[in-house]
Amino acid sequence: MSIIEVNGLHKEFLIAKRETGVMGAIKSLFKREFTKKEAVKDISFSIEKGEMVGYIGPNGAGKSTTIKMLTGILVPSAGEVTVNGIIPYENRQANAKNIGVVFGQRTQLWWDLPTIESFELLKAIYRVPDKRYKENMAIFQEILGLDEFINTPVRQLSLGQRMRADIAASLLHDPPILFLDEPTIGLDVVAKEKMRTFIQEINREKQVTVILTTHDMEDIEKLCQRMVLIDHGQKVYDGEILAVKERFGKMRTLVVDLEETSKQLYVTGGALVKQEGYRYWIRFNRDEISASDLITQISQTHNIKDLTVEEPVIESIISRIYQEGFTEQHETVHI
C-alpha cells in the first residue's frame, strides 16, 4: 500500500451569504442563508514511500485544503484519505506523530525563547528519546548550521535562519512524511539553495516522503520528479515533470531585433505573438520548423541585429495549462 492514498476526495464549505442593505442585515440576524463552495472536487492520487511530489496550483485552487485534510485538521465531505495507514481526521494525534509540517508563512517555534528551547519542547511533545534527539540535532547542526543561532531568540532570527530552524523542528521526531507549504517563500537565492539541498538530503538519507506546495517553479524543478497540478479543486495533471516539458516544450519563441527603418516583418511557419518597436516575438513548433530555417527566412528580407531563442520554463508551461487546460497541444501557425 502506498504511504499516502487519496481517493475521490471532496470538500465543500458553507459560506454565510450576506445580504446587502438594512433589511438584509436585519434578515440575516434571524435567518442565515448559505452558499456552498466546493474547494476540492474528486481528487485522487497515491504517493509511494520516499517520493517527492510537487503539489501545485494557483491561489485558491484547493492546495491547503487538501494538505489540511492530510494532516487531519479538516474532515473531508466525501472520499477517503489514508496517511501511513491512518485515517488522519479519525486519529489526529496518532497521525501527528507520523507527519512533519512546515508553513513558510508562520513559525511553529516559540517566538520569544531561544531556538533551543523550542526544540526541547518538541522533544517532550513527541517524546523523542534522548539518544535520538542528540543524533538528530547533530545532523541538523551539520547540514543546517543550527549552532550559529541556537541560543538566539526566534524573533531575532533572520528569515533564512528561522526557516532552517522550522524545518529542523518539523523533522525532530523522524516523521516518515513531510508536508512543506511554501518552504522557500521570501528567501534569498543562497538560502533557497541551502533549503533545497537539505530537503534533498533528508529525502535521500531518511527516505522521507515529501509533499511540497509552492509557487516557486524552481523548487519543483530542482526537487520533484513528479507533480500533481490542481486547479479549481480538480486534478489537472499528475505525472512526471519531464513529461510535461516534453509535451508542452515543443514550442519555442524566437526573439529578433531588426535594423531600425526595416519594414513590417511577416513570417511563415511561425506566429508573431508580440511586437515592440523593432523587436518581434515569434512562436513556433520545433517539430514543424527549425529555428535556423526561420532565421534564414527572416534574414532574406530583413537585417537582423540580434536574436535569441527562448525555451519554455516550467512556469510558463504551467500558466498555459491553467489558462488553456491540459490538452494535446498542436498549433499550426499562419499569418
Partner 1 sequence: MGQLNMYWTFTKKAFLRSSVYRFEVWSRTGSNLIFLVMWGSIWTALYAGKEEAAGVSFTAMLTYIVVSKFLDGVNEAGTPLWDIQEKVRTGDISLELMRPFDVPLRYLFADFGSVAFYMLTALLPIYFLLFLFMDLTLPTDGFTWIYFILSAFLGFLIRYCVEMTFGLLTFFLVETGGIEDIFYFAMSLLSGSVIPLWFFPGWLETIALYLPFQSIFFLPISIFIGEINGSQIFTSLGIQFFWLVVCYLILRLVWNRASHKVVVQGG
Residues that bind partner 1 (CB under 8 A): 13-14, 65, 68, 71-75, 89, 92-97, 99, 101, 103, 106, 108, 110, 112-113, 117, 120-121, 124-127, 153
* Smaller CB separation from partner 1, 106 or 263: 106
Least distance in angstroms from the C-beta of 2 to partner 1: 21
Tell me how far, at minimum, the Cβ of 13 lies from partner 1, in Å: 6
| Per-residue CA distances from 290 to 137, 269, 283, 285 (Å) | 54, 9, 11, 8
Angle at 130 between CA 128 and CA 132, to 5 degrees: 65
In the complex, minimum distance from the CB of residue 114 to partner 1, in angstroms, rounded to a whole number: 9
Task: Report which of 142, 64, 66, 150 is spatially closest to residue 109, judged by C-alpha positions.
Answer: 150
Provide CB contacts within 8 A for 42, sequence distance 6+.
8, 9, 10, 79, 234
Of the two residues 120 and 201, which places its CB atom closer to partner 1 in the complex? 120
Q: What are phi and psi of 99, to 5 degrees?
A: -120, 150
Q: Return the sign of the alpha-carbon dihedral for residues 328, 216, 229, 16.
A: negative
Nearer to partner 1 by Cβ, of 67 and 229: the residue is 67
* CB 49, min distance to partner 1, A: 21
Nearer to partner 1, 83 or 210 (CB): 83
| Helical ranges in 91-216 per DSSP H | 92-98, 115-125, 130-144, 159-171, 189-206
**Shortest distance, CB of residue 333 to partner 1, whole angstroms?**
46
Residue whose CB is less far from partner 1, 44 or 91: 91
